[in-house]
Amino acid sequence: MAQVVAPPNTTNDSLVCYAPTMITTNGIWQGDNPLDYSLPLFILQLTLIVVTTRALVFLLKPFRQPRVIAEILGGVLLGPSVLGNSVTFANTIFPLRSVMVIETMANVGLLYFLFLVGVEMDITVIRRTGKRALTIALAGMVLPFTIAIIFSFILHRNDTGMSQGTYILFLGVSVSVTSFPVLARILAELKLINTELGKMALSSALVSDVCAWILLALALALSENQNVTPLASLWVILSCISFVAFFIFVVRPAIIWMINRTPEGESFSDFHICLIITGVMISGFITDAIGTHSVFGAFVFGLIIPNGQLGVTLIEKLEDFVSGLLLPLFFAISGLKTNIGAIGGLRYWVFLMLIIFLSCVGKIAGTLLMSFFYQMPAREGITLGLLMNTKGLIEMIVLNVGREQKVLDDRLFAQLVIATVIMTGVVMPFVTSIYRPARSFTSYKRRTIQSSKEDAELRVLTCIHTPRNVPTIINLLEASHPTKKSPICVYVLHLVELTGRASAMLIVHNTRTSGKPALNRTQAQSDHIINAFENYEQHASGCVSIQPLTAISPYSTMHEDICDLAEDKRVGLIIIPFHKQQTVDGGMEATNPAFRTVNQNVLANAPCSVGILVDRGLNGSTVRLAANQVSHHIAVLFFGGPDDREALCYAWRMSQHPGISLTVLRFIPGEDANEPAVQSRSNHNDPRTLTIETDNEREKRLDEELINEFRRNTSNNESIVYTKEVVNNGEETVAVIRSMESIHDLFIVGRGQGMISPLTAGLTDWSECPELGAIGDMLASSDFAATVSVLVLQQYVGMGLQGDELPGSTTPDSTGHVNEQRDRRSMGQNAFSP
């Protein structure tokens, strides 16, 4: 094998010879160096790139930078700017003979990733964005594009053989477009994806992405040099139009026919999936052959795949491998081609800063002008302009194609790569510093069941992980006795983990009409949940109003969505499912450990009372019961304290339902029991320890007042039984509770935060779930009665009780009874926008 020695990672005017037999090594024991063979070398390169980019992702995570920044910087770090500046490193790890292999694999990954982007992108969204998103997107592109035209006359060299128009197109597209996938992730991290500003930014970015593809196809068609005939550009354009038309009118109907032949509920055959995956390569080959980039064909093929189960199947089979392993190769290759030293002197660095500054300012100015036209606040207009500066995949494709076509030289390529990194990197810090979503609500008084008025609306936020949570929660709501005089407004929040895929973002904004198939499994679950609650509302005779929503966020920050929504809607109670569910043999098993973290965070940050529901079915049933079929035996275990008072007040409301019988069992300390102590905020080591300092005497007085009022008002109600039990320790308490378990089907208990009682002494030593409290944990354990559901309540007491927020306060609610306009079909499409 002969090889011409060349500067590190430089292919200009170099001749590289390949030996077809040097693919795999015979082994180091036979004297072979694995790095002399293409396969072991590629494996090492791929491993090094993935490890480097993942390490940078970890390091940049505190700065909330998107993954694309880490992947580009990883390539720059390995390239000629840093490590590749060493001749030994460059010739050993990234020799010239390996460039063809690694670039080929990077483009294969890019091919399939753009196909997936097309599959996940709903082109009909553009038709629904309206004039505002369209004009904002175009205005945000025009000014940066104009600035690029001005710079092109300064930077363009006539000796390249490339026309001025082609140069303008490549330069203009690279500085003016917005990356939709990267922007979606940034909005999710900033908790703006569900706001009007976030929706406007995503819609505008989608328009910008489509414009970028059109301009890129045009730029490739016009990439003429001295060796191309004058009619070549026209033939390329006509061929592209024919290719798109063929896929729309021939390939798409064939795929729809294939989908219709697959029975509903069955998976697609391996033959059909293999046919489509092969079609991606064929479409890429065709568009490359006709003169445009291969990714254009793959993207168009993805766009014509109908929404539904086929798209979901393709994403599940391809995305993790393509996005996690092959796509970082493309960004790393871009970084490897970036030689910061090629930028040269101060003059070119000044040009770079001017490009960044003027492009950012131009996009902000264009967006701000349209914002003023549509009467948006100036702060929102500036924020929208900053968000539209997000760069990513499409920009790197444009830059790489421009470099391959020799439109961009090494200096300008390096300048624009750095500009992409800087413009995207500053988005998160700037937006965080200048924009805070406006809070449209005012503080409210009734944050607990106890402080709610009997003749006022009760607002409840119920959280749902899966449809399995639905029947028992609906039965619990029906048992809460909604009436015309005191209706219940229920905000049903479907909790969905944000996986980082574009499809998860599109669930929020894809407004489907009823009857169309669900886009994916999450949307199908949302439809199932909303239908169940709407059916309940229709049979509630106007006493219950349902407002379904979806929260799509990482589990680590999901509690923020729950708590923000609770305060925004001024609810008095949040009901969240326990993280364990009942098994067939009656035991309790954890469904997802992350659910427990969400529950703990909600308890620590909730702006109102919280109830954790341990679901074992009500009436031993897991189906929803009609109002006239409700028949529950409910028990309240009262030890004292704010949480127990909240439990009693909720059960008191439920007892007014004709099908409810209530037993209140008050535990009284015996003579041998020590006086209960008060736990202060002294344990700062365990963040899950949630304690509120209380005063013993004051708590006893409040307990007695509530018990006396309860007995006065229910003395003539035969369905309510009030008893006392004198116990001295935890063992006697457990014995009394176990004697009741076969009689009742729902226990309502307080969490007991801040209280240390001799009546529960020793129970916490064996506690599996401290967030339920001593009694709640015992009732929810696997060795307790398998047919008894448990509701553990924590009363909101605030950091310092105000006079008008004392439990039992009857201060009028400033909001009154609110009838809100809502779209009940918004679940899964317009999260937090009923």
CB 298 within 8 A of CB 67: no
CB 43 within 8 A of CB 301: no
Banded model confidence at residue 552, pLDDT cuts 50, 70, 90? confident
pLDDT given at position 558? 86
Q: Is 47 helix (H, G, I), strand (E, B) or coil?
A: helix
Q: Is 808 helix (H, G, I), strand (E, B) or coil?
A: coil
Sign of CA dihedral 796, 798, 799, 802: negative
Banded model confidence at residue 782, pLDDT cuts 50, 70, 90? confident
Residue 448 CA: distances (Å) to CA of 321, 475, 612, 800: 48, 21, 15, 15
Element (H, E) at 429: helix 427-434
pLDDT given at position 351? 85
Mean per-residue pLDDT, 467-489: 90
Residues 6+ apart with CB under 8 A from 63: 428, 429
pLDDT given at position 834? 33
More confident residue, 43 or 620: 43
pLDDT in tens, 57-109: 999 988 888 888 998 999 999 999 999 889 999 999 999 888 889 999 999 99
Intra-chain end-to-end CA distance of the chain, in Å: 69
Single out the residue of 505, 494, 449, 545 nearest to residue 750, CA to CA: 449
Single out the residue of 362, 368, 388 nearest to residue 179, CA to CA: 388
Does the pLDDT at position 387 exceed 50? yes
Residues 6+ apart with CB under 8 A from 84: 8, 9, 78, 90, 94, 336
Mean per-residue pLDDT, 686-698: 55
State both tokens at 298: 């793959």
pLDDT given at position 628? 55
Tallying the residues shown for the chain, one arrives at 834
Residue 369 burial class via C-beta count within 10 angstroms: exposed 0-12, middle 13-18, buried 19 and up: middle
Banded model confidence at residue 521, pLDDT cuts 50, 70, 90? low
pLDDT given at position 520? 52
Residues 6+ apart with CB under 8 A from 348: 411, 415
pLDDT given at position 206? 82
Q: How far is residue 354's CA from residue 344's CA, in Å, rounded to a whole number?
A: 16
Does the pLDDT at position 815 exceed 70? no
Mean per-residue pLDDT, 600-619: 89
Q: How far is residue 616's CA from residue 787's CA, in Å, rounded to a whole number?
A: 6
Banded model confidence at residue 420, pLDDT cuts 50, 70, 90? very high
Give the CA radius of gyration of the chain. Answer: 32
State both tokens at 511: 């407004």
Mean per-residue pLDDT, 482-500: 84
H/E/C letters for each residue in 745-797? CEEEEECCCCEECHHHCCCHHHCCCHHHHHHHHHHHCCCCCCCCEEEEEECCC
Look up tokens 């035996």; give the residue: 633
Give me the half-sphere count of Cα atoms (radius 13 Å) on the Cβ side of residue 639: 29
Q: How far is residue 710's CA from residue 718's CA, in Å, rounded to a whole number?
A: 14
Which residues, listed in sequence order, are joined to residue 725 by a DSSP beta bridge? 667
pLDDT in tens, 240-255: 999 999 999 999 999 9
Q: Supply the DSSP string of 726-741, one letter for each residue.
A: EE-SHHHHHHHHHTTT
Q: How far is residue 779's CA from residue 745's CA, in Å, rounded to a whole number?
A: 12
Question: Rounded to 5 degrees, what angle do the CA atoms 44, 48, 52 make?
Answer: 175
Mean per-residue pLDDT, 39-53: 92
Amino acid at 31: G
Residues 6+ apart with CB under 8 A from 596: 579, 590, 769, 771
Amino acid at 71: E
Q: Where are the beta strands (DSSP E) in 322-366?
A: none
Q: Supply the DSSP string of 493-558, one letter for each residue.
A: EEEEE--S-HHHHHHHH--PPTTSPPSSHHHHHHHHHHHHHHHHHHTTTTSEEEEEEEEEE-GGGH
pLDDT given at position 802? 35
pLDDT given at position 402? 86
Q: How far is residue 722's CA from residue 714's CA, in Å, rounded to a whole number?
A: 9
Look up tokens 């929020």; give the residue: 508
pLDDT given at position 816? 35
Residue 613 CA: distances (Å) to CA of 606, 616, 779: 16, 9, 11
Q: How far is residue 826's CA from residue 547's CA, in Å, rounded to a whole number?
A: 9
State both tokens at 575: 């009901």
Does the pLDDT at position 549 exceed 60? yes
pLDDT given at position 287? 93
Q: How far is residue 418's CA from residue 353's CA, in Å, rounded to a whole number?
A: 10
Single out the residue of 334, 415, 337 nearest to residue 9, CA to CA: 337
Mean per-residue pLDDT, 377-406: 89
Does the pLDDT at position 191 exceed 80? no
Which residues, listed in sequence order, are joined to residue 791 by a DSSP beta bridge? 613, 748
* Average pLDDT for the chain: 80
Element (H, E) at 270: helix 270-290
For the ranges 33-42, 458-467, 597-606, 813-822, the lowest mean pLDDT is seen at 813-822
- Count of CB atoms within 10 A of residue 127's CB? 8
State both tokens at 321: 């491998």
Q: What is the rounded (10 degree) CA torsion for 460, 465, 471, 475? A: -20
For the ranges 455-469, 514-528, 655-669, 676-690, the lowest mean pLDDT is seen at 676-690
Q: How far is residue 538's CA from residue 531's CA, in Å, rounded to a whole number?
A: 10
pLDDT in tens, 611-644: 999 988 775 444 445 555 667 889 999 998 899 9
Phi/psi at 234 (5° precision): -65, -40
pLDDT given at position 168? 87
Banded model confidence at residue 786, pLDDT cuts 50, 70, 90? low
For the ranges 303-312, 544-553, 801-810, the lowest mean pLDDT is seen at 801-810
pLDDT given at position 51? 93
CB 395 within 8 A of CB 153: no
